[in-house]
Every structure is written in structure tokens, then in C-alpha cells.
Amino acid sequence: MRYDFQKIEPKWQKHWLENDTFKSEVDKSKPKYYVLDMFPYPSGAGLHVGHVEGYTATDIVARYKRMAGFNVMHPMGWDAFGLPAEQYAVKTGQHPRETTATNVANFKKQIQSLGLSYDWNREVNTTDEKYYRWTQWIFLQLHKKGLAYVAEVPVNWCPDLGTVLANEEVPEQVAKGYRVERRPMRQWMLKITAYAEELLQDLDDLDWPESLKEMQRNWIGKSKGAEIDFAIKNHDEKLRVYTTRPDTIFGATFMVLAPEHPLVEKVTTSDCKEAVCSYQEQSSLKSELERTELSKKKTGTFTGAYAINPANGQEIPIWIADYVLVSYGTGAIMCVPHGDERDHEFAEVFDLDIVAITDDNERYINSENKENGFVLNGLEKEAGIATAIEWLEKNNCGEAKTNYKIRDWLFSRQRYWGEPFPVVYNDKGEAQALSEEELPVLLPEMSDFKPTGTPEAPLSKATEWLEYEGKDGKKYVRETNTMPQWAGSCWYYLRFLDPDNEDKFCDPEKEKYWMPVDLYIGGAEHAVLHLIYARFWHKVLYDLGCVSTKEPFQKLFNQGMILGYTYRNYKNDKGEVVSHNDAKWKVEDSGQIAYHKETKEELKVELVAPHEVVWKDGKVYHEELDCELEVKAEKMSKSLGNTINPDVIIKDYGADSLRLYEMFMGPLEQEKPWNDTGIEGVHRFLRKVWLLFIDREGNLNESIKDDAKLDKNVEKLLHKTIEKVTNDLEKLRFNTAISQLMILVNELGGKEINKECAETLLKLISPLAPHIAEELWALLGNDPCVCEQEWPKHDPKLVVDDEITLVVQVNGKFRASLKVAKGLSKDELEKIAREDEKVKTHLDKEVRRVIVVPNKLVNFVL
């Protein structure tokens, strides 16, 4: 009977689903284990094999932990609001509610075909009104706490998408070719800056990759320094700057304001006004990303005004430049071109003074004002900073200041497909939050939900919905902006704990039992978006007494990306094919372009479909044109045409093969290119497992006997395998666990084994390849499921080797490696080493000394 995975896998998936095999409830008699995936955005493209990697990893851990005696919760849901869903609906002429439902159904079908052990009783969807009611409730708590406010602020406006973007979202959209510009708009903001210090300090206690923690530290951007007041010549206003190096004030030779700084209009002289206004207009069309790009040429213009350096009384010119952001610090900087690379470049471009402030030994020079006793000359950096701050505070022209780079979270979106705000406006335009009893504020049904192309949001077209009558009988107008996609994903892990609760977002007892998340697996690309936002919301809920832990995710693991192969062809302006060997890439302002390495002409790059590709001698050719192509392993994406649909792999090889292959490709954290030939190897391994149990007639192999006595070496290998697989699963080293199972299966082939050994093997395989393990477990006559059995334990005595490898050296040089019995005396080890033929040839001189390390080494010193 052949290994019929197409019949076996649906059978067990149906069994698990119908029997609620993986249902989880609070059980205080067991230790809990909460394992979580970053729940997916259900796109129209469906899953690709890159998604499968993380889901398989968490599933293996969930299955293993259940068998190891833990009460495991492993839930799944859908992050279904947001910009991509709306764009797809607009493009296809459907309503986003319809496309989202279709996509969710497809994703769920694909996920279930992988045999993932989710508790589907806990399924959540961010677009469900029963879910987003509580998203709105959390917003009201933020509002009550003074952490949600309306402000007229400079925003990243994307005219192509018709919405504003948070700073963190700009790079992704710019990479897609969308324009992003700065403009002032009235928006909802969340005061994440109030939690900057907690977000920073509490990172130290988390079991997260250090690289990811460092990304968050850099994004929060804590710095210590001082704010300094500069008088402005012929004006009453003061110009306040923030600097981490107040000690360098003697080297400040000019000032730079952000183009949006409120002082610009006040201090600009009439002869400079036209140039300043023109520059402000140009800057408004650039995103913060473009403005702060280090490699771009510095631009700016003089305001005609001068500031007075408080340290030495010198007049220094005030400029505006777009590399200074009004949202960071005070929106103004003192420029020390001797000590700052950007300031130095700006000074060189505009021929401004550069004054040295330190010598080659980093000791201060030119840094004194004898009239007031402010002298730094000869001091070291730390002493200089302390002296400068002391002087500033004493003379009332500055103070010590701690600053953070992180900005308040821009929380408004001019889109339809998102959570409505529980907010109305009175006839004076003042925002008023609704009461909790009025939730949820439902998203109105609209046939015309397209963005307006202006800051006016689509919900402004829902005329009946807009009108709201308050309990006081007065007329109000609803907020027309919606929340960003991040709102629903900030707290979904909490709703999983109690998804059907209509009175609370989560029962406190259930939250206290399950939290924090014990293992969270997802991509590193969420480091400064979802992860920092979720930590912020969780900390607010902790301060409100709604959750029992300060942090949501105790252990975080970033899986490496699975890359797909992209095939490229090059053509010149005549449409003629150019060999990829003659094509080169270079980076220009518009991005990467391809050009001919000899003629220098720009080349058109065409992606080639996989079915047009043939491999010859390790090279790739276009079938019709018969020309060699460039091959790159890149992130899987629909636009590159390099995605692999898991449905195809499952149809041809089965879900167990797909699961095993993705885990066997290499360490979970590493990037790995997909290779179809690799899956054939693990599929052969599963067939070998099948044939170990089942003969060609479909009967249990006669080699498996209840009373069979295991060969001593087989028994030792079995217990070594139990030990290694257990340790590897604990450390997420799935590839080495699979390798060890392959060694064991190879050893068992053709040998007589007892039923206990066969059952142990199936238990070890079960988390990794659950379908075949369940089928063989049942064919052995067992009930219930193998996934509900106790995890095997190794015998410590049987994992200790009886033999050791003895290294023999002569004068410290390796001469032989011998297998000997463990525990031999020094004399016995020396005798064995002397008698080895390879060693004898090197003992041609008198042996002056013999060094013996028991169970390890013999070294003859001649």
C-alpha cells in the first residue's frame, strides 16, 4: 500500500477539526504556553511558501509543548482592515467587505490544508463589529488618559493614495513609487512619546533578538543634551535649539531652522523673503525620508537674520534647510561644522565659517569667554559637556534636556476601510468622545467608498451617517477619518484570550492565566511598526489595570525570509536581446537602473516567467530566445512573479513534505532560497518512514513485533534521538532535529523493532509531520491521536557512549584517531596507542615523555 498523502492528510485535518482536538481552555493544573503567529493580512494573492515557514514553526512548538504536558493556546485570526484591501476592492470594482470575506475564506482553506493545530474557536477578524467595538473602546481609554488628541500638524500626505501616512509607513510606499509630500493637516494623534522611556527601558527584560531590540532603541532615539536660547538681532524672540553637544557652542558659526519653523516668517528680512518662500514650497513637496537622506546634496537659503551666540557674543547667520525637521527637537539647530558631518557639508556648499574647537587629541581649543569665566580649553569631552550645561543654567540661557527621536503616532487615515472613530464634533468644531454605551460605531454601507483625492475622507460622503443627535438633543457631526490598520493589530493577542466576551475585551482571570505570550514568531520588518505600537497600547492598558503584565510578548523570534528566484532578460532601445553578462546595474536618484557596460546605454529589464526558463549546466536560459538570463534570489512578491503557491506543493508532495522541507532548508532565522528539488528529498524520507511500518500489501510490517528485543546500538540511537530532538525543538533548531530523525529511520530499516520503539518514533515525528504520524499511529492499532500522547523521555544511561574517540599525537601533531572502550586506564591507553601501525612509524626516536588525558588523548613527546 503506497503512501497516499492526498487521502491521508484531508482525513486527519477533518478529524482534528470535527473533534476540537486543539481546543484550549484555562486549566490551572497545567503550566500554560501561549504560542502566537503574527496574524496575516488576507490578500487576494493568497498564501505563498514564505508565509508557511513561520506558521509551521509555531505549529511544531505548539504540538510539542502539548505532548510535553503544557496547556497550549495556539490561535489564528485576520488583520483585514487597511489600505491594501481597499485598493484591491477599488481596482476590481467590488466592496472591500466582499473581497475581504473571499480572501479570508481562501486563506483559511490554505492554512487548514497545512495541518496547523489552531484552536479555531478563538478566530478573530479585525473587521468584525464585535471586534472593532473593543478597538474603539481602547481608543476611548487613550482619550480619557489624555493620550489621544487632535492637532494641526505637518503630515506625510500621499496624493496617489489619497491619505496620510505615519513616518514609519513612508519608506514602503515610496519604494512602490508613490509620491509623499509634507503638508499641515488636522489629525488625530496618539501620544506614544509619553511612554518613550518605558518602551526603551523594558526592552532589556525581553527575550528578543538583540538586533531587533537595537532597532527599537534607535527608533525611540533617546539622547541627553541641552536646550540653548539664542537671542536674535533686532528681535525680542529667542531661538531655542536642542543639542547633544552644548560644549561645542564656541564652534557654532550659523543656525539652521526647519522650513516650517514658526520663527521663519518673523525673522526673514524683506530682501530674502522671496527666496525663503520659494524654498518652503519646495520643501513641502518632500517627505521626511527624502529630506533626511544623508547622501543627498544639502540645500538651503539665508533668512537675512542673525542670532547671538551666548557663549562668545558673536553674530551668526540664520538659514533654513530641509534636513532639519520641525518635528524633532525644537526644529532648529546650532551648526558646528568642525564637529558635525552634515553641518560641515552645508558650510562647504554655502561657504560658511568653519571654526576648529578641538585638537587632534580631542582636547578643547578656542573655547573660552574670559568675561564670564566659561572656559573649556584643555578639558575632555564629558567634563566639557557638564561645564557647558552648568554655565547655561547659571546664566539662564539654557538647561539640561533629555530628548527622544520618536514622534507621536499619526492615527488618522482618509480611507473608508477602517475603524470609525467614536468621536463627534459640535457646531464649534470641538471634538467630543462618545460614551462606551454607544459602541460600536458601525462603518456605514457605501457604494462609493473611493478616496476623494483630497484631505476630505470618503466617509464625508455618507450624509445620513454623518448626522448624529446627542443625548442632549443637540446636533453633531461624526469624525470622517478612520483608524489605521495598526489599530486592530495592536491588541489582537488579547482578544484571542476571550473572543466571545460581549461585556469586556477580555476576562481578567483569563488574561492573568494566559499572558504574556510565551513565543511570538514573525518577520523583523515589524520591528518599528506593529511591535512598538502593540507595546505602547499594552503599557497603557497595564497602567489602567486592564492587563497584568507590562509587556505583551516575552519571547520573540524572527524567522528568516524564504526567497524566490527571479529571472531577468535585458533589451536595448531597439528591442534586441542583450546578454546578461553585458548588463550592469547602477543606482541613480530614480532608483536602480540597468545599462550596457560598454555602450553605457540604458537597458529595458524584463521579468521572465518560470515556464519560459530552462536550466543547462547550472545556467538559466530563455527557451525561445536561447539566451542566458540573470537569476536573483529575492523576496517573494506577486509583482516579481517569483511566489510559490503552497497549494501546488501540497497537491504534488503533501503538507507534511512541505512542512518538513521548509524546516529542513536551514536554521529558522536564516534567509533561504526556495528550490523545488529539495522537497523531493524530504518526500523520499517520508516514504521511507511509511515503508518502515507498512508492507506492499498494506499490512503492518512483520519487523515490528510487540516482544522484539532492540539491538543495543539501535536502543542507544533511539534514546540519543529523543534527547536531541527534544533539545532541538526547545531551541527551534528544526533542521537538526529532522536530520537526527533521518539518521534513526535509516538505522531502523531492515531491523526488527518492538512496538514501543515504533511508537516513540511516531511521537517524535508527530510535531513535524503530523498527518503521516497520525495515520501510522492508528494503523498500529492505537487510539486516540498521537498528538495527544505524552512526549517520550530519554534514559540518561543510554545516551552515554561506551566507546570514545582517542586522539593520538606525536610531538603535538595529530597521527591517529582510534575507537576505544570508555574508561580505560592511562597505561592501557598508552599501550593501544603504541601498537597502532600509523603511530609506530613516527616513534623512531626515544620517547622522553607520554601525556595521557583519559578518554581523550595520548601525546608522545620524543
Cell 578639558 appears where? Answer: 379
Burial of 812 (0-12, 13-18, 19+ CB in 10 A): exposed
Please calculate the CA angle 761-762-765 and round it to the nearest 5 degrees: 90
Confidence (pTM): 0.89
How far apart, in whole angstroms, are the C-alpha atoms of residue 716 and residue 794? 10
Instruction: Quick: pLDDT tens for 437-478.
Output: 999 999 999 989 988 878 889 999 999 999 999 988 899 999
What is the per-residue pLDDT for 618? 81
Helix (H, G, I), strand (E, B) or coil at 507: coil
Helix (H, G, I), strand (E, B) or coil at 242: strand
Q: Domains of the chain by range and CATH?
A: 31-217+406-561 (3.40.50.620), 222-404 (3.90.740.10), 562-635 (no CATH), 665-798 (1.10.730.10), 801-861 (3.10.20.590)
What is the per-residue pLDDT for 591? 65
Position 399: which residue type?
Answer: E
* Per-block mean pLDDT, blocks of 10 residues, the chain (862 long): 92 98 97 97 89 97 98 97 86 91 96 98 98 98 97 86 81 81 89 97 96 95 96 95 95 96 96 96 82 81 96 95 89 93 94 92 85 84 94 94 93 94 95 96 93 87 93 93 95 98 97 98 89 97 98 97 92 88 77 86 89 86 86 86 92 98 96 90 96 91 90 94 98 98 95 95 98 97 95 92 90 94 92 94 93 95 95
How far apart, in whole angstroms, are the C-alpha atoms of residue 70 and residue 787? 13
Residues 6+ positions from 89 with CB-CB distance below 8 Å:
95, 96, 98, 99, 417, 449
Phi/psi at 843 (nearest 5 deg)?
Answer: -95, 55
Grid coordinates of 332:
532648529
What is the per-residue pLDDT for 162? 86
CB 243 within 8 A of CB 264: no
- CA nearest 402: which of 280, 194, 151, 222? 222
How far apart, in whole angstroms, are the C-alpha atoms of residue 718 and residue 712? 10
Instruction: 286-290: list long-range contacts, CB under 8 Å, 24+ apart.
Output: 286/181, 286/182, 286/322, 287/156, 287/170, 287/174, 287/180, 287/181, 287/182, 288/156, 288/167, 288/170, 288/182, 288/325, 288/327, 289/170, 289/171, 289/174, 289/180, 290/174, 290/180
What is the bridge-based pairing of β-strands 398-404 and 409-410? unpaired
Q: Where are the alpha helices (DSSP H) in 297-352?
A: 341-349
Instruction: Quick: pLDDT tens for 391-404.
Output: 999 999 999 999 99
Phi/psi at 57 (nearest 5 deg)?
Answer: -60, -50
Grid coordinates of 589:
536618484
Q: Which residues of 85-119 are buried (b: 16+ CB within 10 A; e: fewer)?
A: bbebbbeeeebbbebbbebbebbbebbbbbbbbbb
Q: Which residues of 721-748 are buried (b: 16+ CB within 10 A; e: fewer)?
A: bbbbbbebbeebbbbebbebbbebbebb
Sheet holding 431-433, edge to edge: 431-433, 423-425, 475-478, 467-469
In angstroms, how far is CA 132 from the centroid of its own chain? Answer: 24
What is the per-residue pLDDT for 452? 81
What is the per-residue pLDDT for 295? 67
**Ligand-binding site membership of 144 (annotated):** no
- DSSP class of residue 316 equals E
